[in-house]
Amino acid sequence: MKRFYLLMFLIALMWAGYSHGADVAPTTHEAMVSGQARSVIAASSSVQENKVGIGDVRASAVVGESPDEEAIDEEEEDEEEVMGEISIADPLEPFNRAMFQFNDRLYFWVVKPVAQGYKKVVPESGRTSVKNFFTNLGFPKRFVSCLFQADFGGAATELGRFVVNTVWGVGGLLDPAANKELDLQRQDADIGQTLGIYGLGHGFYIVWPVLGPSSLRDTVDIAGEYFQYPFTYADPWYVGPSVRAYEGVNSASLRIGDYEALKEAAIDPYVALRNAYAQYRQNMVKKKEKREAPAPVEVKPAQRMFQ
């Protein structure tokens, strides 16, 4: 029996020592630690059942570690992913930089002061309702885009949201569809994203005055949105632009400080914004592509971890 205790003690020491003292090969060690935790459990359970010798424990430990060799290969690929760059062509850089300056001034000299004044008058709940209202009006764009992406579930969700929020959400001022019971979340779908899913690249980066960062591909979206926007067809010509300006001020009032933070954190704000745009749009496309073809590879490592 004493031997048994000694064996236990030795095993415990062995594992504890192995985990802390593997400075010889730091990278492989790090990759294996999570594997070890599992093999320790595997080893301890085999000890419990069979009361086997150290040799057998080692054998089970080796079995426990073998999936991590795959993981190391994966990590090399991942390193590529981590180091890989998401970029966007920018042949119009001088023009774009000028437009960036223009939009920057427009924000600090006009939009921000107006939004701040507006913020003082209208409480946050009111501004959130206005935002919901305009979001609800964006329904046709999202619905049609979902259809073009063959995302019928998404299209149905959007349709359900539109009906629920228009009827029970006081014409879209509230968002009852998004609460826990219904759980109909907004589907961020647009035409630029649809074209991206079809395999069309950005073309190149364009900064539009007033409208901000875009690309050749996503400019189609700006045009499409213009025609899907109900106020475009309002009678005196200035109603459409005025409503848009109001929408812009309202959404700016909810996001005061975001742009400032981005600018403050950036070494070169122009490049920072361009890259943020490229990343944001690429992820919009990726997210939807994943939904279409659910990749089991993505889920596998997590499942392994929680087995």
Which residues contribute to the site for another protein (CB under 8 A)?
1, 4-5, 8-9, 11-13, 15-16, 19-20, 30-37, 40-41, 44, 47-48, 68, 71-72, 74-75, 78, 82-83, 85-87, 124, 127-128, 131, 254, 257, 261, 264-268, 271-272, 274-276, 279-280, 283-284, 287, 298, 301-302, 304-305
Please report how close the Cβ of residue 33 comes to another protein at its closest, in angstroms.
Answer: 5
Comparing CB distances to another protein, the nearer of 48 and 294 is 48
Please report how close the Cβ of residue 237 comes to another protein at its closest, in angstroms.
Answer: 32
Please report how close the Cβ of residue 50 comes to another protein at its closest, in angstroms.
Answer: 13
Comparing CB distances to another protein, the nearer of 57 and 164 is 57
Comparing CB distances to another protein, the nearer of 44 and 232 is 44
Please report how close the Cβ of residue 278 comes to another protein at its closest, in angstroms.
Answer: 8
Comparing CB distances to another protein, the nearer of 147 and 266 is 266
Comparing CB distances to another protein, the nearer of 181 and 264 is 264
Report how far residue 126's alpha carbon sits from residue 246's, in angstroms, rounded to the nearest whole number: 14
Query: Residue holding tokens 């309702």?
Result: 129
Comparing CB distances to another protein, the nearer of 12 and 167 is 12
Please report how close the Cβ of residue 44 comes to another protein at its closest, in angstroms.
Answer: 6
Query: Residue holding tokens 């048994």?
Result: 4
Retrieve residue 275's tokens: 């890259």
Please report how close the Cβ of residue 117 comes to another protein at its closest, in angstroms.
Answer: 18
